[in-house]
Amino acid sequence: MISVIILGAGNVAAHLFNAFDGTEQVHVKQWYNRSIKSIQSYKNKVVITDDLSQLEKADVYIIAVSDDAIANLSTKLPFENRLVVHTSGSVNVHDLDKKNRRGVFYPLQTFSKAATLNFENVPICLEVLDKADLKTLKSLAKTIGSSTHKVNTDQRRALHLAAVFVNNFTNQLYRVAHEITESKGVEFDILKPLILETAKKVQDISPYMAQTGPAKRNDKKTIKKHLQLLESAQHKAIYELLTASIQKTHGRKKL
Amino acid sequence: MISVIILGAGNVAAHLFNAFDGTEQVHVKQWYNRSIKSIQSYKNKVVITDDLSQLEKADVYIIAVSDDAIANLSTKLPFENRLVVHTSGSVNVHDLDKKNRRGVFYPLQTFSKAATLNFENVPICLEVLDKADLKTLKSLAKTIGSSTHKVNTDQRRALHLAAVFVNNFTNQLYRVAHEITESKGVEFDILKPLILETAKKVQDISPYMAQTGPAKRNDKKTIKKHLQLLESAQHKAIYELLTASIQKTHGRKKL
């Protein structure tokens, strides 16, 4: 049995609580948040508190607060030499107060409040300063079915940055597509199977191998037609830049 | 029973043949290609030919050749007043020779030679000049499990353009992510669950509602860090443009 105390009340904190709460191998001893209101609805499931001085002893303290608040919260912890981790993709592990053993427990996934998430689909990137702590964090991730990946700070930052491309930016391309279809009164829904298939394809083959389309073929006629169709200057700019990027990757001349 | 003759030997032609061949409600009477070699391997399954004068009578002739070759091939068909459709997202239905009844049978999906495709996940966009032909094309799509969508030329073009954003451009963002992770010696595989989840999310909620991340939050500190991390000028430009696009969509000030 691994005992855990969660600090913070955002999406990551809530999803981690629900996942740990669903396994017998983890005991969430307490859930702390600065404002008790945000976690009030969990009070029948776990001891909630807004008082750091009340924190009990646990195997792992998980700080799941916004990036800017991590360092400060870690200095306020009223104990020493315990394992304290944060869940951020970009904050340095050394930003945690050195009075405790420090680590990172970074779940690489998109979290929204509503959707329930199966942690089998959430790879967790681990970083520790003391090797002995790696075992604890691995065991903890394993209880909820997550795969674990030992990464250094540079690698974690690269993953966080790459995640912005495959998640936020990809989602914005979906949004642009939504605007394009809407402008002609055609359902965005028709694109949904293609969106899913595009994501599925790179589960098995590399994005390089998966590429198709007018940019890769250097089909100038279609590219020209598409640019004429685009009404927004920003959409045109995105089209041109990503077409150039594809052609650079696949060794075509620039537009 | 609907009788069909396929013309062309590309990915769309091959996937359509396999799908029709797998249903009892369709009889693929012949498969034509200019070069017989490309379809030689199918000769035990269907009558193959490279001679247009040998084409028999069928309910639907499906021209699945490259965009530039469609018009020309349609003029060479040695018959009149039969239903001839092309499968392109961007070619005008009027580019087909008017001696026949014309239509479009545009499967909106990404086709690669290797992967087998379930046509239940392939919406087919239909366009006809003679309303009576719509029924035939709908029935034909239904035999392979596809949903059908009646669209006009403008709408089909918008879908084709939007498909470039959600497929080719999205795939290029995956490629950029691959380059970023590779440069730090970290596995691209760690991003695969996030890629899939991002695509799944917009099956149920709009891309607008699904958006998260530093651009939407206007988290200038993280954006600045990310831009510093990016080594390629083109990757930086993509980051800046898509961040600006997200901020425009969500009413944030420009960077």
User: ipTM of this model?
Assistant: 0.93
In this structure, the answer to whether residues A48 and A135 fall within a common structural domain is: yes
pLDDT at A111: 78
pLDDT digits over B18-35, tens only?
999 999 999 999 999 999
Bridge partners, residue A125, by sequence = A106, A149
Low pLDDT (below 50) residues in chain A: 254-255
Residue A115 has a pLDDT of: 64
Give the closest-approach CA distance of B70 to chain A in angstroms. Answer: 14
**Of B124, B151, B178, at which residue does a domain stop?**
B151
Residue B195 lies in a domain: yes
Rounded to the nearest angstrom, the minimum Cα separation between A79 and chain B is 30
Residues in chain B with CB shorter than 8 Å from the CB of A248 are: 234
Total domains, chain B = 2
Residue A255: inside a domain: no
Taking CB atoms and an 8 Å limit, are A201 and B168 in contact across chains?
no
| B136 and B174 in a common domain | no
Instruction: Examine residue A126 and state whether it is found in any structural domain, yes or no.
Output: yes
Across chain B, mean pLDDT equals: 95
Residue B46 maps to a domain: yes
DSSP letter for A38, please. G
Structure tokens at B97: 């020779």
User: B152 near B104, Cβ under 8 Å?
Assistant: no
Give the C-alpha separation, A107 to A87, whole Å: 7
Question: Which residue in chain A has the smallest CA separation from B179?
Answer: A162
Kindly report, residue by residue over B112-161, the tens digit of the pLDDT.
Answer: 776 678 999 999 999 999 999 999 999 999 999 999 999 999 999 999 99
Which CATH number is B173's domain given? 1.10.1040.20
Q: Which element (helix H / strand E) includes A118?
A: none
* B198/A170 CB distance under 8 A: yes
In a domain, B255, yes or no: no
pLDDT digits (tens, 9 = 90+) for B156-205: 999 999 999 999 999 999 999 999 999 999 999 999 999 999 999 999 99
Nearest CA distance, B253 vs chain A (angstrom): 15
Q: How far apart are CA B134 and CA A133, in angstroms?
A: 66
Is the pLDDT confidence value at B254 over 60?
Answer: no
Using CA coordinates, name the residue in chain B closest to A213. B168
pLDDT per residue as tens digits for the range B75-108? 999 999 999 999 999 999 999 999 999 999 999 9
Rounded CA-CA distance A220/B14 in Å is 25
Note whether residue A103 is domain-resident.
yes
Q: Which residues have a Cβ under 8 Å from the Cβ of A21 and sit 6 or more positions away?
A: A28, A45, A46
**Is there a single domain that holds both residue A82 and residue A34?**
yes
Q: Last residue of some domain: A151, A176, A208?
A: A151
**CA nearest to A151 within chain B:** B186
Tell me which residue in B125, B158, B246 faces A183 most closely, judged by beta carbons. B158
Q: Which domain holds residue A62?
A: 2-151
Q: Are strands B124-128 and B101-107 parallel, antiparallel or unpaired?
A: antiparallel
- Residue ending a domain, choose from A151, A170, A187: A151
Residues of chain A contacting residue B232, judged by C-beta atoms under 8 Å apart? none
- Could you tell me if A23 and A106 lie in one domain? yes
My answer on whether B48 and B126 are in the same domain is yes
Structural element, H or E, at residue B55: none
Residue B245 has pLDDT above 90, yes or no: yes
Question: Which pLDDT does position B253 carry in this prediction?
Answer: 54
* Tokens standing for residue B31: 């498969």
Instruction: Report pLDDT digits (tens) over A72-105.
Output: 999 999 999 999 999 999 999 999 999 999 999 9
B86 and B112, same domain (yes or no) = yes
Q: Identify the weakest region by mean pLDDT among A27-31, A124-128, B3-7, B212-216.
A: B212-216
Is the CB of residue B180 less than 8 Å from the CB of residue A165? Answer: yes
Could you tell me the CATH number of the domain that includes residue B96? 3.40.50.720
Residue A185: list chain B partners with CB under 8 A.
155
CB within 8 Å: B212 and A110: yes
User: Do residue A171 and residue B241 have CB atoms under 8 angstroms apart?
Assistant: no
Rounded Cα–Cα distance for residues B63 and B91 (Å): 12
What does residue A172 show for φ and ψ, rounded to 5 degrees?
-70, -35
Please report whether residue A65 resides in a domain: yes
Whether A75 and A196 share a structural domain: no
